Structures are given as C-alpha cells and as structure tokens.
Structure 1
Amino acid sequence: MTATVYFRQMTQYMGLAICTLIVRTTLWVLGILWGIVREIINGVFRVAIGIIVAVLSTIAFFGFILWLFTL
C-alpha cells in the first residue's frame, strides 16, 4: 500500500515537472519570437521615419533653392 502511494505521488510530481518544463520552454520560445517580431516592427518604423525625413528634407532644400532664385 505504501509503495503504491509513493509511486503515485512520484508520478504526479514527475508529471508536474514535465508540464512545468513544457510551459517554461513554450514561454521561452514565444519570448524569443516576440523579440524578433518587435525588432522587425521597430526596423520598419525606423525606415518609414527615415524616408519621411528624407522627403521633407528634399522638399525643404528645393524650396530654399527656389527662394534663392527670387532674391
């Protein structure tokens, strides 16, 4: 009787340890994937802001040149 109780308790602890390991591994992988996705999104925003700044700088430069022609 006691051996079966110990065996049952041991299997419960092993099952809990395996489930904990699976959950922690899944969360670890999701954390890595989330970091990659976040870096990609940040890169896209950085490129978009760079393009907007370049376009505005070009417009300002040519506007300045046109203003110089009016002097």
Structure 2
Amino acid sequence: MYLLIIFLPLLDSSIASFFRRFLGSEGTAIITTMYISFSYIFYFLSFYEVAPGASACYLKIAPWIS
C-alpha cells in the first residue's frame, strides 16, 4: 500500500499519455482523477496507521543496491 502512493500517479500519467487518443479528453480526465483519488485514499490510510501511534514503517524497495 505504501508503494502504491508513489506508483499510482506514475501509472496514471503513463496511461493518460499512452492511451490519450483512445480515451479522449473526458476519458483521460476520468482516469487521472480516479487514480489520484485512490492515491489520496491510500495516503490517508497510511497516515492514519503510522502517525497517531508514532510507529515506524520500513520498506525494502531495492535490496540489491546495498
């Protein structure tokens, strides 16, 4: 869920740019609004999970780098 906060807007911009001709301006607006709304919901849920309890959240994104 934490990684979706970062990658949903990236996926959104990719879909909007690659399928712009097929979706049209209204379809692109709906898709981008939907993905940004999902990202906001995930952000709010993760903030509610981490902030009040002051619990740390560690993510191993790229363990092969170290």
State TM-score, norm by structure 1: 0.42
Q: Normalising by structure 2, report the TM-score.
A: 0.45
More helix by share: 1
| RCO comparison, higher one (Cα < 8 Å, 6+) | 2
* Larger Rg, first or second structure (1 or 2): 1
